Each structure stands twice: as C-alpha cells, then as structure tokens.
Structure 1
Amino acid sequence: EVDIATGVIIGAIIVFFYTVLGGMKGITYTQVAQYVVLMFAYVVPAVFISLLMTDHFLPQTGFGATIAQDVPGGGSYLLERLDGLSQELGFAAYTEGMRSKIDVFFITAALMVGTAGLPHVIVR
C-alpha cells in the first residue's frame, strides 16, 4: 500500500542489495524475480481478457469460442469478429494468413538465438 514512486524505489533497493551482497548469484536471483514479474505481466491480462470476453480460462481456447452474451456482439465467434475488424481496417482477414513449417522453424530459431545472444546471457 505504497504509491508507485515508493514501490520503484523499494524495488531498486532490493536489486541493489542483492547485487552488492551476492555478486553474480544475487544478480541471478534478481533475473529470476524479473522473469516471474514479466511472466505475470503477459499471462494475467491475457487470461482475464479471455475470461471476460469468452468465459474461457485459456486464451488459446478462447480464440475458437463464442463471445459471452454480456459482451457487445455476444453469441458470435471471436475469430469471425477479428476477421471483420481486420477487413474493416483495410487488412486481410485475421485467419487468412498461413506460414509454412520452415518459416515457423526459422522464426522460432531466430527468437531463440537472439535471446541467447543478449549480452547479459553471453557473459554467463
């Protein structure tokens, strides 16, 4: 129950404390904490948006589900609404595109190699 500025300062002090007292081991724990925060930052909004729009807990299954009745446009499929929205904006339908397996493989490889090539990972 502190304001944002105070929370940021507290977080910075904790990171500094780990770094000074623990060295590389402390920095590793700090990176673990950052990973957990990032994981929650991505997963929690996706889960709650899926719950609110489709009553499905998993966002992956919510894509193929019908929109909840209490949401505007309820009863129609979410992918149909996304297709319509994309076309209204002048783009191709959301479900139109398809990538070959080799494209997906190389995109995934680029993400993995790019992440492994980050300076703080190479140092280790």
Structure 2
Amino acid sequence: LRKLPAHLLAFEPQAMLAQLAYVRAPALHNTLGPQAGKYLQKNGLNMTHDAIMVESEPNQPLQVILMEQGEEDWSSSLNAYILSEGLAVLEKYVQQSSNSDVPEQVQAWVDFQDEARQSSTGLWQ
C-alpha cells in the first residue's frame, strides 16, 4: 500500500468494501492467496473499470462484476479472468443448473473454471 497524496487526503473517504461476485478467491494466508492478490492488484487496481453491482446488503461487501471500461461482455470481466487463471472458484450455488437467481452470462463462467481444472492451472494443480 502507498500513502495517498495530500490533495486527495482533503476529501472524505468514498470507498466501499466490495468483492467479486459469484467467485471465491483464496485468502492471502491460504495456498495461492498471494498470487490471487497480486493478480487482482495488477489487473484490477491499476486500471479503470466499470462495475456492475450485483448485490448490496447492509453490513456486507458489495458484490460486483468488474469489466474494463466500455466492455459489455461478462466473459471479459475480471471475475471471469481470475477463474480462467485458476486463482478463484465459482461459488457452489452458481454451478447448480436449477438456480434461476444466477444470470445466464455467469453460467458461461463455468467453462472458464472447467478449462482451468482440466489444464491443472492454479488451485486445480
């Protein structure tokens, strides 16, 4: 982490706690947690993204899908990319075909996870 410039410290904090929707990445202290953190830092923090808010509940992190600015294909989201790198897994409820609460675009992410699993990438080693 780096210290904010003085001119930015004059503003009230506006950040909100958020997490990637429909996927679960390992915590930093778990196996591949540091790699997942570095991946998110490299591909998430240093870029401008459009965020689709999936869910917002009091006292819970926002559930978001992050996409490069102007992108509309959910298969090109940071959520999908981290799955394809094998650094996260889909939440179990997403994989249940009977779950109508999961958008159709997210169902395509199962293929990304399957490809990582078949190639023994990341968490699937």
Range into which the TM-score falls when normalised by the shorter chain: under 0.3
TM-score by length of 2: 0.28
TM-score by length of 1: 0.28
Higher relative contact order (CA 8 A, sep 6+): 2
The structure having more radius of gyration, on CA atoms, is: 1
